[in-house]
Amino acid sequence: MLVVMKPHATQAEIDAVVERIRSMGLQAHAIPGAQRVAIGITGNKGGLDPGNFETMPGVADAIRVSQPFKLVSREVKEEDTIIDIGGVKLGGPEIVVMAGPCSVESRTQVLEAAHAVKAAGAKILRGGAFKPRTSPYEFQGLAEEGLKLLALAREETGLKVVTEVMDVENLAMVADYADILQIGARNMQNFSLLRRLGEVKKPILLKRGPSATIKEWLMAAEYVVAGGNYQVALCERGIRTFETMTRNTLDLNAVPVLKALTHLPVVVDPSHGIGLRRHVAAMARAGIAAGADAIIVEVHPQPDKALSDGHQSLTPAEFEALMKQARVIAGAVGRQL
């Protein structure tokens, strides 16, 4: 249930509603809103009676929420969530581009990549310092050394940094260096980690699990938001199907469906999604045309020498060409880039 306060409700009126919710043994969640305060209620089994709240002073309405996800749903918060990352606004009218190498490999590589994607118009640098790998015998990332190189690249270019955190153990360290914390597809339902992300004061980029339904994905975001962190963006990166010609099947259907169901920003990762360099630009364009708020693209100065995912990384020149097309498509859907 959602209790919507009147535009000029007083703090005392709000507090009284919160108090009544808690006295019923339930949780109250204040929902950020430009015009007025709303208070989400969770923890109830079965429906609540709106009459409990409707007649309280300052209350405009008490609404039943039909979806299993509550705080992330548009039913509860109609206006788009805009995540402000030091001035870069994710979820607003401008389409944000995140780009950079799959893994941070060396000082030269990351700086070269950062300068190149900055020049082409990216606002956020991506790069993995901790790499989840199917095999224990593959390159697992540079760890803190990689984080330091990302921080250096940020300093040199002014780009913000998004990088993956794989576990609670390294959460504080990664949060020290990163501007956005990426949660990988295989960790989408790592509930212990999700709960801790609710307490973090950094934006989260939550990748979709390879076989997660849209509902499960929203429920995973709900874990973070219910923990107190409203700065969550959802990143479609391809689902697992029977098709073997592509690495994954980038599910662009999820983009308009999510934009209707949730107020959180939606990001598209065409690089992991299709997994073939020559087709990344087509899927990036399609993602923007479908309504994504951002794209995240792998770019490597020398893809053929990359320690991971070279076959799906663009060269700086290919990335620059993509950016030009992306700008036109953004205009076609009423956005800027």
Which residues ranging from 262 to 321 are in contact with its own copies (CB under 8 A)?
273-274, 276, 278-279, 282-283, 285-291
261 contact partners, CB below 8 Å, separation of at least 6: 67, 69, 73, 74, 214, 218
**Six-digit token pair at 252?**
């662009």
Instruction: Rule CB under 8 A: choose which of 108, 191, 228, 336 binds its own copies.
Output: 191
Instruction: Rule CB under 8 A: choose which of 20, 36, 148, 195 binds its own copies.
Output: 195
Residue (10 or 213) nearer to its own copies, CB: 213
Instruction: Rule CB under 8 A: choose which of 59, 104, 122, 255 binds its own copies.
Output: 255
Angle at 118 between CA 117 and CA 122, to 5 degrees: 75
Instruction: Provide the mask over 139-178, with x wherever binding to its own copies is found by CB under 8 A and - wherever it is not.
Output: ---------------------------xxxx---------
Q: Which amino acid is at 11?
A: Q
What is the nearest approach in angstroms of its own copies to the Cβ of residue 12? 28
Instruction: Rule CB under 8 A: choose which of 48, 65, 80, 189 binds its own copies.
Output: 189
Segment 224 to 243, residues that bind its own copies, using CB under 8 A: 226-227, 239-243
Segment 28 to 57, residues that bind its own copies, using CB under 8 A: 42-43
Segment 72 to 131, residues that bind its own copies, using CB under 8 A: none
Asked if 5 and 36 count as a contact pair (C-beta separation under 8 A), the reply is yes
Nearest one of 215, 217, 283, 225 to 251, comparing CA atoms: 283
What is the nearest approach in angstroms of its own copies to the Cβ of residue 325? 6
Instruction: Rule CB under 8 A: choose which of 28, 150, 193, 235 binds its own copies.
Output: 193
CA distance 105 to 307: 7
Asked if 318 and 116 count as a contact pair (C-beta separation under 8 A), the reply is no
Based on the shown chain and the rule CB under 8 A, indicate whether residue 190 belongs to the binding site for its own copies.
Answer: yes
CA distance 166 to 10: 42
Asked if 162 and 126 count as a contact pair (C-beta separation under 8 A), the reply is yes
Backbone angles phi, psi at 273, to 5 degrees: -60, -50
Residue (13 or 167) nearer to its own copies, CB: 167
Contact range with its own copies by CB under 8 A, out of 142-150, 152-160, 181-189, 310-318 = 181-189
Based on the shown chain and the rule CB under 8 A, indicate whether residue 252 belongs to the binding site for its own copies.
Answer: yes
CA distance 101 to 114: 9
Using left for φ > 0, alpha for ψ between -120 and 50, and beta otherwise, residue 134 falls in alpha
What is the nearest approach in angstroms of its own copies to the Cβ of residue 43? 6
Based on the shown chain and the rule CB under 8 A, indicate whether residue 244 belongs to the binding site for its own copies.
Answer: yes
